[in-house]
Amino acid sequence: MNQRQLAVILLACVLAACGTPLENAANTFKEQVRLGDPDAQQTYSDNLELFESAEALTIWVDALENADSPQVQRWAATLIGNIGDPSALPALAAAMSGNRAVRDAAVDAIAGFDAADAADAYAMALREGSRDALAPALAALARMGADAGSAVDAIAETAAASEALIASTAVNTLADIGTDEAAMALAALATNTDLDMGRRSSAIQSLQRIDSEAAAAALAEVSTALAEEEGADELRETLS
Q: Is the dihedral of CA 167, 189, 219, 216 positive or negative?
A: positive
C-alpha–C-alpha distance, residues 133 and 110, integer Å? 13
pLDDT band at 9 (very low <50, low <70, confident <90, very high): low
pLDDT band at 85 (very low <50, low <70, confident <90, very high): very high
- Give CA separation, 8 vs 45, 131, 226, in Å: 17, 37, 68
Q: What is the pLDDT of residues 29-38, one digit of tens each?
A: 999 999 999 9
8 Å CB contact between 96 and 131: no
Q: Packing angle between helix 197-209 and helix 213-227, nearest 10 degrees?
A: 150
The mean of the pLDDT values for the chain is: 93
Per-residue pLDDT at 16 exceeds 60: no
Q: What is the pLDDT of residues 107-133, one digit of tens each?
A: 999 999 999 999 999 999 999 999 999
Q: What is the pLDDT of residues 153-212, one digit of tens each?
A: 999 999 999 899 999 999 999 999 999 999 999 999 999 999 999 999 999 999 999 999
8 Å CB contact between 77 and 95: yes
Domains of the chain, residue spans: 1-51, 152-240
pTM: 0.90
pLDDT band at 19 (very low <50, low <70, confident <90, very high): confident
Over pLDDT 90: what percentage of the chain? 91
C-alpha–C-alpha distance, residues 51 and 36, integer Å? 19
Per-residue pLDDT at 77 exceeds 60: yes
| pLDDT confidence of residue 113 | 98
